[in-house]
Amino acid sequence: METIDPAEALEHDAHGADPFKSRAAMLVSVLAMILALASLGGSNAAKEATQHNILAANAYAFFQAKNIRQTAYKLAADDIELQLLRDTKLPEAARAQLQKKLEDYKKTAARYESEPETREGKRELIAQAKEHEHHRDVALRKDPWFDYAEAALQIGIVLASVAIIMSTPALLYAAAFLGTLGALSTLNGYFLFY
């Protein structure tokens, strides 16, 4: 049995390059490049989905905190109103002080409803949460396409590699077909055409 030196085999292939093997090797290279792009897109989509999910949860938590504070101020204002109605013999200074507190509490409760200048009112927080949910949902719709692309491209690379070893054109065609599916899935992952 004759031992073949891999360096000699490569040199022989380079001089008398088999066009089939050259095309198959080029296909493997292209599929690997597309696989890298699909992997990057999938990783970014997953990170983006997680990030926007956290930001949406934070906005909802802040909304709930504002809502609780607003409710506390409304209850305090209601208590003061009842006290003013019940205790008609309050000294004028105490009545004025309670009236001022009542107005302050009502203003604060109203401010919690909407604060456009700080974007921290309940209305703005709900809008932020919905926006983050939208971005999260888009990223979640993109992510499976990258998974499909990675699977198709990896199988395509394996088939192209086997096609080189076995010199089987049918395997190369199957690899090219899977590579095309992988490339289309990658594009759809980035742009969501369908």
Counting the structural domains of the chain, the total is 1
Residue 149, domain member (yes or no): yes
Residue 178, domain member (yes or no): yes
pLDDT of residue 125: 98
Backbone angles phi, psi at 17, to 5 degrees: -55, 130
Residue 94, domain member (yes or no): yes
Residue 13, domain member (yes or no): no
Helix, strand, coil percentages, rounded to 5, for the chain: 85, 0, 15
Residue 139, domain member (yes or no): yes
**Structural domain harbouring 34:** 19-191
Residues 89-126: b if buried by 16+ CB within 10 A, e if exposed: eeeeeeeeebeeebeebbebbeebeeeeeeebbbebbe
pLDDT of residue 23: 96
pLDDT tens track, the chain, 194 positions: 556 554 455 555 555 678 999 999 999 999 999 999 999 999 999 999 999 999 999 999 999 999 999 999 999 999 999 999 999 899 999 999 999 999 999 999 999 999 999 999 999 999 999 999 999 999 999 999 999 999 999 999 999 999 999 999 999 999 999 999 999 999 999 999 99
Residue 5, domain member (yes or no): no
Residue 105, domain member (yes or no): yes
Structure tokens at 136: 């999260």
- 117's enclosing H/E stretch is none
pLDDT of residue 104: 97
Residue 12, domain member (yes or no): no
pLDDT of residue 9: 52
